[in-house]
Amino acid sequence: MTTSGYIDEEMNRAFLEKQLNSFIQNCAGLQGAIAGISIRSVADGEIIYQHQGDIRLRPASNMKLFTGAAALQLLGERYSFSTEIYRSGTIQNHILNGDLFLKGKGDPTLQKGDFDKMGEALHSQGIHKIEGNLIGDDSWYDRVRYSQDLTWTDETFYYGAQVSALTVSPTPDYDAGAVEITLTPGLHAGDQVQVEVTPKTDFVQIMNEAVTVDQGEAEINFERVHAENIILIKGTLPIGSEELKEGIAVWDPTRFALTLFKRSLEERGIEVTGSLESDIVPETAVKVYSRHSIPLSQLLVPFMKLSNNTHAEIFIKEMGKVAKGEGSWEKGLEVLTEEIRKFGVNTETLVIRDGSGVSHVNLISANEISRLLFNVQKAEWFPSYLHSLPAAGEPEKMEGGTLRNRMENLQGKVKAKTGTITTVSTLSGYVTANSGKTLIFSIMLNNLLDEEKGKEVEDQIVQLIVDSY
């Protein structure tokens, strides 16, 4: 760097520091809150600015930056999740005299259409009737369905779905362990709101008390009865309003998968005479079908851009299974810690309780997040990692993700992971300033009265970085 270049750099840093310090001091949205901010050079990792950068704060979904990096490092970009079908007994006259086993190995991308393909394959193999049971095997992971700090109120929704090695998603967003509920207003005030469930299933029971009204805002409340698959829908939807969609978690995703599988078999002319059971595939069983998910590099897109909690916890259990032979949170979090340590993260300063960031007990500092974001640039999988991050102002769902409606004026300049839990908002990633230089940043806001205002504060800070450096 020339002497003049060095002076320019120092002036840029001094100006940025002055602007950010003034903003933090005078920002009404930060009164009574805690802000941790870390900004690094993308070239050498040097800290350009920090405000309480070493203070441990709740990361919310910025935790997924660590989970995604660890999964890519341990499992690899090409890693895929499999689902297998086995049979016991023999096939005679198109009748399987034995049981059919559906073994899940963590694939969050399974949909009803995949079961249809399985049914077609089995029918083409000459199986037209099963004189036995349909058995689900989810033993690839342990039976603990929820991470240790998941709030009970989250159980109703897709972002709090149970984690099972055998699970199904309703749409290509891959919200595993959930159904999608679509509400449409009636033609007249007083009409019952129309409800559609995807995939079509009798596994859940809808108790619909929502009604159509003349005008106003949509006010809909969803609740799934604890330990049951009864979904209560209450509230109002105005005439002419757009359809409203919500992902609702199912109770017992393994049995839900079996139910859909049985339906697909029957729709393709395969009769099942026995019952739906849960057990482990015996060693003597014969594998008759195998399906693989999209590779991890592609799965990372809905995981990061849509901030999918269930994917995060599946990745944790998968890492535990692959590295330590046990698909549990305990072993998976051990592996996560080992993997992120390889990127210079000081794991002795962290508290990690899950892979998604839904826990309010997780604690990470902004400087450790920015350190990770600097060091992962050296990994050969970094292009996939960077591509998976939400992009500010990009309108397409699988491009902009959770930033598609934020910072539209900075389109093409910001790729960053968002994070939101009650009283917490975070944003960490990469930003290109007006000078043309790219910086790494981490903004962690805790103890907020309003998370939405927290997002506005983050956007203002990013704008200051762009304008000041």
Residues annotated catalytic, as ranges: 61, 64, 307
Q: How far apart are CA 215 and CA 58, in angstroms?
A: 40
Helix (H, G, I), strand (E, B) or coil at 235: strand
How many helices and strands (H and E) does the chain possess? 11, 20
Instruction: Write the secondary structure of the chain as one string of H (helix), E (strand) and C (coil).
Output: CCHHHHHHHHHHHHHHHHHHHHHHHHCHHHCCCEEEEEEEECCCCCEEEEECCCCCECCHHHHHHHHHHHHHHHHCCCCCCEEEEEECCEEECCEEECCEEEEECCCCCCCHHHHHHHHHHHHHCCCCEECCCEEEECCCCCCCCCCCCCCHHHHHEHHHCCCCCCCCCCCCCCCCCEEEEEEECCCCCCCECEEEEECCCCCCEEEEEEEEECCCCCEEEEEECCCCCEEEEEEEEECCCCCEEEEEECCCHHHHHHHHHHHHHHHCCCEECCCEEECCCCCCCEEEEEEECCCHHHHHHHHHHCCCHHHHHHHHHHHHHHHHCCCCHHHHHHHHHHHHHCCCCCHHHCECCCCCCCCCCCEECHHHHHHHHHHHHHCCCHHHHHHHCCECCCCCHHHHHHHCCCCHHHCCCEEEEEEEECCEEEEEEEEECCCCCEEEEEEEEECCCCHHHHHHHHHHHHHHHHHHC
Phi and psi at residue 51, in whole multiples of 5°? -135, 110
Sheet holding 90-92, edge to edge: 90-92, 95-97, 129-130, 271-272
Q: How far apart are CA 119 and CA 97, in angstroms?
A: 17
Q: Tally Cβ neighbours within 10 Å of residue 433.
A: 18
- DSSP symbols for 171-216: STT--TTEEEEEEE--SSTTPBPEEEEES--SSSEEEEEEEEESSS
Instruction: Determine if the peptide bond prior to 199 is cis (ω within 30°).
Output: yes
